[in-house]
Chains A and B, each alone.
Chain A
Amino acid sequence: METFTPITALIGGLLIGLASAAYLYLQGRYCGISGMVSDIVQRHPNFRFSIFFLLGLVFGGFLLNFVYPKALDVNFLLPWPGVILAGLLVGFGSKLGGGCTSGHGICGCGMLDKRSMTAVAVFLVVAMTTATILYHYFIGDPHP
């Protein structure tokens, strides 16, 4: 099975970068998705725009059924308590650290912001350590 998919990764990455840049032009803000979720939870003045972007994500995800159905071949490798724990950690961490893979990862790094680059380095190392220990030694290798 082909695991490494450089061409589709490149096309996808370019689209993500372009969409994030378009968001900057439209909203004047980072295209950070944990931040948009938090806008809605906390009723940020901008929350209506955040809702429209997130609805776009959901609709784009629906279109993937026709554009690239493999994208929706989604499996979770942990039972529901693991899903809840992962969600709590992702929510708590992204709020405390001020961003996630989109905000710090794409926008912050694309602005060459040292805080974002540090956050990305930290969460990559922690995530790699966690996944390597959990999946290599306990659950078994994930095969995409």
Chain B
Amino acid sequence: MIGKLLTFLTGVVFAIGLGVSEMTRPEKILAFLDLFGDWDPSLLIVMGAGVGVYLIFQKIIRAKLSPVCAVDYTLPKPGAIDKRLILGATFFGFGWGLLGLCPGPAVTIMSTLKPELFLFLASVGIGQYLASIKL
């Protein structure tokens, strides 16, 4: 139970991070993705800071600690850059660039109860299902 509570709290911190950096707002994302007009590079700072912190902590955590709620680490194995990866990233980028919304922010702003969010998340679930039966 303590593991579930801590996992919940991790989600809370993640959401506050997304919110403070305004990555919850599609307009903010699109102001970065649309290179013309009033270009806003904020997303690069968010990604850079997030990756930097993770890079340092993942090394320490994996070297010195075992996971609290799991037997061992289950991380993606380094593999070849294949067609699935490139095609998947292309589809994802197309969808992200259309609306400026990806799964994390969509879940984070659910308390606004905007109908578009439920439509978006249902479509994400259907898209994932379609990709998994194509395997």
Contact = CB atoms under 8 A, between A and B. Distances in A.
Interface residue tally of chain B, by bracket? Answer: 35 or more
A93 B86 contact: no
Contacts, number: 509
| Majority secondary structure, B binding face | helix
B103 A100 contact: yes
Nearest to A86: B99
A11 B50 CA distance: 9
Contacts of B8: 52-53, 55-56, 59
A115 B81 contact: yes
A16 B50 contact: yes
| Majority secondary structure, A binding face | helix
B14 A90 contact: no
Nearest to A124: B93
Contacts of A86: 95-96, 98-99, 101, 120, 123
A111 B14 contact: no
Contacts of B62: 24
A112 B62 CA distance: 14
Nearest to B82: A115
Contacts of B13: 15, 18-19, 22, 56, 60
A93 B95 contact: yes
Interface in B7-43: 7-28, 30-31, 33-43
B91 A96 contact: yes
Contacts of A58: 11, 15, 107-108, 110-111
Nearest to B125: A41
Given A56-B7, A100-B92, A92 B112 contact: no
B36 A10 contact: no
Interface in B36-91: 36-43, 45-55, 57-58, 61-62, 65-76, 78-79, 81, 84-91
Nearest to B131: A95
Interface string A54-75: 1111111111110110111111
B127 A60 contact: no
A25 B95 contact: no
A122 B67 contact: no
A92 B131 contact: yes
6 contacts: A27-B7, A52-B11, A60-B19, A75-B27, A84-B120, A90-B96
